[in-house]
Amino acid sequence: MTAHTTDSLKAELNARGWRMTPQRQTILHAFQKLPRGDHLSAEELCDFLQQRGETVSLSTIYRSLKLMTRMGILRELELAEGHKHYELNRPHPHHHHHLVCIQCNRTLEFKNDSVLKQSLKQAEKEGLQLIDCQLTVMTICPEAIRLGWPSALPSNWMCARALSEGHDGDRIAALAAATVAHESQMDATEADGERQSAIE
């Protein structure tokens, strides 16, 4: 895997019948500018772009993140239940893992070559090809302990951020299903529009 540039992304998109839109270029540039190890959720990316005077709708960001993840340009990380983050998908030397506080969602990265080596060994043993290797270790940070948060995951655990936003399990499931359905419909509409533009 090599680092993606604007030209390489444009070539890949064209090969699959898509276009390099200004919005996709803006999103790629945003991830290229992030310090190594940083990652963003869709909402954080939207705020990040707005702070820099870029206007990209949240729905476009969701679709672009989904597309770039499918193409292997971005790496999707589910660091806390129901909250996906994204970062540039870098070659093997940059594989890393995450320590996540289950209460405040604070995330720290760490590297461990033995995890990658063991994953490669196990995949080969089963006749599989390793595509990605990421380990998420659930923890509780000193501040959360000081505040008296429980240090064990209950059976109905949801991350603190979801709880603070007033989501319950059923609502999250319904929102997830609606989001998937909406994204599928928008993908189909966008693909039809881009193919029509190519014909014209």
> Which residues are documented as binding site for Zn(2+)?
101, 104, 141
Both tokens assigned to 61: 């960001």
> Which residues are annotated as part of the binding site?
95, 101, 104, 141
Task: Give me Rg for the CA atoms of the chain.
Answer: 19
Task: Give every CB contact of residue 100 below 8 A, 6+ residues apart in sequence.
Answer: 79, 80, 106, 107, 136, 137, 138, 139
Nearest to 108 by CA among 139, 143, 133, 131: 139
> Which residues are annotated as part of the binding site for Fe cation?
95
**DSSP letters of 46-105?**
HHHHHHTT----HHHHHHHHHHHHHTTSEEEEEEETTEEEEEE---GGG--EEEEETTT-
